[in-house]
Chains A and B, each alone.
Chain A
Amino acid sequence: MAKSQTKSGADASVEHKSRRDFIVVATYAMGAVGAGAFVWPLVDQMNPAADTLALASIEVDVSKIVEGQSITIKWRGKPIFIRHRTASEIEEASGVLQDELRDPEGDDVRAQKPEYLVVLGVCTHLGCVPLGQKVGEVRGEYGGWFCPCHGSHYDSSGRIRKGPAPLNLEVPPYSFLSDQVIRIG
């Protein structure tokens, strides 16, 4: 190379080397950033699309549900359980001591109006739909729901009491538009 042209040939080559190192590292870094920028769209395309995210909210008339019975409706592809609870179920749900619970949560926090419990019908273990909606289905040891997949028991507030599920049945965002109509979502 140009070594022989300068007196301090060794110094120059050292300098060249570190300069070249810098260029090499900078090139790799740019390449990595570029590759990363290209990979992200490939990964992110798998996340929910705009129309999937834009799923409309739904309105439900709960006055038709007879006391002690439940209905199941579909929201965002998942079942929503709405149960019109009896006085004894409400009493049972609010009477539970917090330290008896795996995922402590008061019944008053979970139900905006104690008569109506609104929860996602998706077991928090691995996503099966628990039994207990239809008349005559098993409701588990705590009178709420029972998930047959791996045996999780939920109480009448939809809280996990026994079995492998870690969390209470999720309460979806909802509001009462009037005394009879709920909007979910």
Chain B
Amino acid sequence: MSASKFSNPVVRWIDHRLPIFSFLEHEANEYPTPKNLNYFWNFGSLAGISLVIMIVTGITLAMSYTAHVDYAFESVERIMRDVNHGWLLRYIHMNGASFFFIVVFIHIFRGLYYGSYKAPRELLWMLGVVILLLMMATAFMGYVLPWGQMSFWGATVITNLFSAIPFVGESIVTWLWGGFSVDNPTLNRFFALHYLMPFLIVGVVILHLVALHRFGSNNPLGIDTRGPQDTLPFHPYYTIKDFFGLSVFLTFLAAAVFFFPNFLGHPDNYIPADPLQTPAHIVPEWYFLPFYAILRAVPDKLGGVLAMFGAIAILFVLPWLDRSPVRSARFRPLFKIFFWILVIDCIVLGYVGAKPAEGMYLLVGRVATVWYFVHFLAILPLLSVIETPRPLPQSISTPVFGGGGGLAGAVAAPKEKL
């Protein structure tokens, strides 16, 4: 390790004792990245920045928030009306949560499309699923904090899911509540955990990145990089691209914060919690709707809960369900079709989750739920056997230089978006 890498003597002095600059130089600056990444590869860094935005606005909100059933609602109203820029912080935090989920959902579907969960990135993928679970728990508890009607009844319904567990269910629910209903002890612990969990997410994100840097990013072709001709240094090529993506993202976030701050929320949450009165139509936050639809599709309490958690658990074993050695959907004609059916299926589930569980909606929800599981448990294993993938390019740069591909490679070249 040569200290001469850095010209600044202070940096050199520090780096000799604490090689933090070498580390950053190695992981961020020199880090070789496939040169054909498209804009779907922006969503990882966007997710990281969203997490930072949530932590910064969250900690500042916590400075004016009171976690007590008698004061919580009013303290949030005070943040909105009296605390300097409190409305801005809260609206960023509220909409930031939604945008965080949009970004992470796109990030996940990117992985599904390009087969990023396959060897050797299985653990990277599984750590991502852990992050998703932690995010869901964090957002759920955060939504309880303003102590509106949806906060209270959302908390009641979701914690009651655990009562479906045989024998110990009731004790677990009492333990979660710290009482006999969602009440002050519940609000207090949810605040403590809502503060803690984002930092657990930071920890798992670091592991996620360590696993990522082991083999580097996957890419739209889904083939391994074969050397320097296939890669670019992360800085400045991808830092600038990530910054561009970030500015687009922030434009959308600002539009929501300043012009439609309550569009994704529910008006009932501006009514203080009333333990004696359930709102006529309770719905979770939009990012939970597909899972809520799965919960309600099963007519049995325990079955519904198992199906809902199963929908996420199945993602953990995905690398072993899809056995096809070809990663990218670009070279898997059948897989590509089923991928888009799955996307539509998830959107349908989200739509149905927002509707009352009766009649047509219930039926559609059931079909969509069954399809979700069929996709992962039957279609993917089956495709790995029966599908004939299209021929893979020899390397990322082959289509460009036409090497090995002959005329066909040269003709195909302009079509590849590089």
Spell out A's residues near B (CB within 8 Å): 43, 46-49, 52, 55, 72, 74, 76-79, 121-122, 125-129, 147-151, 164-166
A165 near B278: Cβ-Cβ < 8 Å: no
> CA A148 – CA B178 in complex, angstroms?
26
Q: Is B70 an interface residue (CB 8 A)?
A: no
Spell out B's residues near A (CB within 8 Å): 153, 156-161, 163, 174-183, 185, 189, 275-278, 280-282, 296, 299-301, 304, 356-358
Further 6 A-B residue pairs, CB within 8 A, beyond A47-B178, A48-B178:
A49-B185, A52-B185, A122-B181, A126-B163, A128-B156, A129-B276
A148 near B280: Cβ-Cβ < 8 Å: yes
B276 near A128: Cβ-Cβ < 8 Å: no
Most chain A beta-carbon contacts within 10 A, residue among B163, B174, B301, B357: B301
Which residues of chain B have C-beta atoms less than 8 A from A122's C-beta?
A: 181
Known: A149-B278, A166-B301. A46 touches B176 (CB 8 A): yes
Which residues of chain A have C-beta atoms less than 8 A from B181's C-beta?
A: 76-78, 122
A129 near B301: Cβ-Cβ < 8 Å: no
B178 near A52: Cβ-Cβ < 8 Å: yes
Which residues of chain A have C-beta atoms less than 8 A from B157's C-beta?
A: 126-128, 149
What's the least CB distance linking A72 to chain B, in Å?
6
> CA A85 – CA B377 in complex, angstroms?
52
> CA A128 – CA B281 in complex, angstroms?
11
Instruction: Return the contact of B357 from the options A49, A151, A166 (Cβ within 8 A).
Output: A151
Most chain A beta-carbon contacts within 10 A, residue among B275, B276, B358: B276
Known: A46-B189, A49-B185, A164-B300. A128 touches B282 (CB 8 A): yes
Known: A76-B181, A77-B183. A46 touches B175 (CB 8 A): yes
Known: A49-B185, A52-B179, A164-B301. A127 touches B275 (CB 8 A): no
Instruction: Kindly report which residue of chain B lies nearest to residue A79, judged by CB atoms.
Output: B276
Can you list 17 pairs linking A and B with CB atoms under 8 Å apart? A46-B176, A46-B189, A48-B180, A48-B185, A49-B178, A52-B179, A74-B276, A78-B180, A79-B275, A121-B276, A125-B160, A126-B157, A126-B161, A127-B157, A164-B301, A164-B304, A166-B301
